[in-house]
Amino acid sequence: MIPAWVDGDLQPVEKLAAHQRGLRHLAVSVFVVAGDAILIQQRALSKYHTPGLWANTCCTHPGWGEAPEACAHRRLEEELGITGLTLDHRGQVEYRADVGGDMIEHEVVEVFLARGTQDLALAPNPDEVMATRWIDHDALSSEIEADPARFTPWLRIYLKEHTGLIFGS
C-alpha cells in the first residue's frame, strides 16, 4: 500500500490501483552522482510499466507511514545493493505523466542526491534492474533529446524542468 490522495485525503492505496486510476501519490527519487556522472538504471523487462526504459538511479513509492529518506535508503539497497551513502534532500517535485498501459504516474516526489564514486559496488536486483551505467549529465541530456522513447517520462521531466533543484549547489 502506498500513500495516495483519494477525495482530498491521503490514505493507503494499492500501488497498481493508484497508477490505473491516475491518483496523486507520494514517491521518492534518488540520483547517485560521481562528479558530473549520474548512475542510471535500465528498468527490468518484468516491470508492469515502462519496462526496459532508462531511469534515474532509483525511484519508488514509500510504504504507508514510511519516511521518505528511510524509503530511499531501503530501495537503494533493494534495487542496487547500495548502502552507506549520505542522502541530501534536494526538495519536492510534482509531475503527471502517461506511462503506458492506461496508467498514469501522478507523483509528489521527494528527491534525494547522493555522492559516490564510479567504482561504487553495485549488486543490481534482476527483478528491478536490467542494466546500470554511469553517464555524464550533458551526454544524458543529449541522448534523451536524440531518442526520448528510451527513457522514462520522469527522468525526462527531471532533467528538463528540475536540473537546478536536483544538481545545483
Instruction: Look at the alpha carbons of 129, 133, 134, 136 in this order and tell me if their dihedral is positive or negative.
Output: negative
Q: Which CATH superfamily is domain 2-167 in?
A: Nucleoside Triphosphate Pyrophosphohydrolase (3.90.79.10)
Give the span between the Cα atoms of 15 and 3, in whole angstroms: 9
Q: Which residue has the higher pLDDT, 144 or 16?
A: 144
Residue 169 has pLDDT above 80, yes or no: no
Catalytic residue among 58, 71, 78, 107: 107
Rg (CA), the chain: 15
Catalytic residue among 58, 59, 71, 110: 59
By C-alpha distance, which of 140, 145, 144 is closest to 167? 140
**Given this model, what pLDDT does residue 48 score?**
87
* Structural domain boundaries in the chain: 2-167
- Binding-site residues from annotation for Mg(2+): 79
Residue 87 has pLDDT above 90, yes or no: yes
Show Cβ contacts of residue 38 under 8 Å, excluding neighbours closer than 6 positions. Answer: 31, 32, 56, 57, 134, 135, 136, 137, 140
Give the span between the Cα atoms of 159 and 161, in whole angstroms: 6
